[in-house]
Amino acid sequence: MPKTKVSICGKLRSFVREFGENIFGTDGVILFCKLCEVKVTAEKRFSVQQHCNTVIHKNCVTRYSALENRQRLLFETPTSSSQTSQFSQDLCKMMVSSNIPLKKLNSRSFRQFLEKYTKHPVPNESTLRKDYLTPCYEEILDIIRRGVGDSKIWVSIDETTDVDERYVANVIVGTLKEDRPGDTFLLTCEVLEKTNHSTIAVLFDNSMNLLWPNGARREHIFLFVTDAAPYMVKAAKGLKMLYPKMIHVTCLAHALHRAAEEVRSSYPEADKLISNCKKVFVKAPLRVQKFQEEAPSLPLPPKPVITRWGTWLDAAVYYCNNLDVVEKIVKSFDPAESSSIKTTQDLFSSTTLKADLAYIKSNFNSFSGAITQLEVSGAELSDALDVLKCIEQELKHAKGTIASRVCRKLENILEKNSGLVYLRGISDILCGNPSSADFQEFSPSDLTLFKHAPVTSCDVERSFSRYKTILSGNRRGFSFNNLKMHVVINCNNSDNGD
């Protein structure tokens, strides 16, 4: 009998059945390998067999079989509440560390993408939150404890009020190393009933017991860095009895900021110009366009934030350098459009404004750069103290009553910073200079650990920025315990460098 002629479509389907529907597929025209994601020549059976014998295809089959077996085990193996899926825990840690809301798992497209490319069943949002968030948090605590180990440490605490009017305090710990900057960790984030020296002292002690569950190593705490708030200073004095080696120093960047505030308050016209000119261009695209057309190479007037250290002085220097250009542009606007335009235009006619801006730039221009240098993490203690010393010397040599007033202000602030005397003495020793300070409680080896000791509380300020990012406007449903775990996991993610 003559052979029956088989159609191409039928031949391809027979190859799919023979070699596996989970491996090959066809649309009736071509044969496609799902694992290798390539078109396969299918004129003869030998060609398909030849593709199956390639190393690439065999590796794909092995990988697919392993994933299939793992997935089958997940479904077949009975699990209890104490047994967790490593995939689910890693997924939870990744999402929290990357600040991806767990609720995104409720998105159908997101789930389908993960299931398609990981070959894992994806848990829902409530499962991750209830069963995996706490283990991830405990894992981070273990990493912090191992990272600290037997090292001597410094501690920094600061407090803020969040959008829900809670008093929130963050505790940062860092290791002291003689040959390099130590590691820094956000240890905990807690709500305080009220902000005073008592609650701060209790938080400090509880945090040390959290770091060392078998008993706080009080002799290992060498430095406590805070702002200069009276309740922080009082708390540090009380804690000194429990932690005998602890030196308390108030943030030097804060000190320079407070001195810079004296400059701002001394020049109300310049302050008014900076404030109102900023408003002229806020939510005004036509004015912004006009500015960019008239001065294409000049950035828009800065928008200083009072709590952002040094930004007001940067704005004053900007107007000193570009006052004529800004004046020309602003005067071209209709004063009837906005009260800020009229106010700014009136200020340009002031007889003292130009002189004030020139004096500010001439005598206080270095403040902003100094604050930026102090904010750098991991700087050597001697370098940070040199920055402060340069500012002190510049103020002493500056002429004028305002400079003298700012100089006295800075001197008064630094005189109240009792720990600064000790750090200056230690820095002198490490730099080979004579020092009259007495450090009987520290061994020579202990003193070398202060080489990279911090003198600012900037690390705590950065953790608050991360806190506010996590507690965004559309994520207010957190219980605080879950929020704390999110913040600690996110801030201690090694990929989230600031």
Q: What is the pLDDT of residues 29-67, one digit of tens each?
A: 788 787 776 778 877 888 888 888 888 788 777 777 766
Angle at 172 between CA 87 and CA 156, to 5 degrees: 175
Q: Which residues pair with 190 in a beta bridge?
A: 169
Provide DSSP, 36-75. TTEEE--SSHHHHHHHHTSHHHHHHHHHHHHHHHHHHHHH
Q: Count Cβ neighbours within 10 Å for each residue of 375-398 and write b for 16 or more, e otherwise.
A: beeebbbbebbebbeebeebbeeb
Q: What mean pLDDT comes out for the span 74-103?
A: 73
Residue 3 pLDDT level (bands cut at 50, 70, 90):
very low
Exposure of 124 in the CB half-sphere (CA atoms within 13 A) = 3
Quick check: 81 pLDDT over 80? no
- Residue 73 CB coordination number (10 Å): 9
More confident residue, 297 or 17: 297
Gap between the Cα atoms of 139 and 97, Å rounded: 13
pTM for this structure?
0.79
Gap between the Cα atoms of 111 and 143, Å rounded: 30
Quick check: 77 pLDDT over 90? no
Q: Which residues pair with 26 in a beta bridge?
A: 31
Give the range among 96-100, 114-118, 261-265, 291-295 with minimum mean pLDDT: 114-118
Quick check: 308 pLDDT over 80? no
More confident residue, 394 or 493: 394
Domains and CATH numbers, the chain: 8-73 (no CATH), 84-140 (no CATH), 149-251+453-491 (3.30.420.10)
**Residue written as token pair 């750090």:** 423
At 68 the pLDDT is 64
Give the range among 13-17, 89-93, 104-108, 454-458 with minimum mean pLDDT: 13-17
At 84 the pLDDT is 46
Tokens matching residue 352: 């003292």
Residues above pLDDT 90, as percent of the chain: 68
Tokens matching residue 140: 């981070």
Quick check: 277 pLDDT over 60? yes
**Nearest 10 degrees: Cα torsion 254, 256, 259, 265:** -80
Quick check: 74 pLDDT over 50? no
Q: What is the pLDDT of residues 179-221, one digit of tens each?
A: 999 999 999 999 999 999 999 999 999 999 999 999 889 999 9
Quick check: 168 pLDDT over 80? yes
CA nearest neighbour of 475 among 88, 89, 104: 104
Provide DSSP, 425-484. HHHHHHTT-------TTS-HHHHHGGGG-----HHHHHHHHHHHHHS-TT-TT--HHHHH
Q: What mean pLDDT comes out for the span 348-370?
A: 93
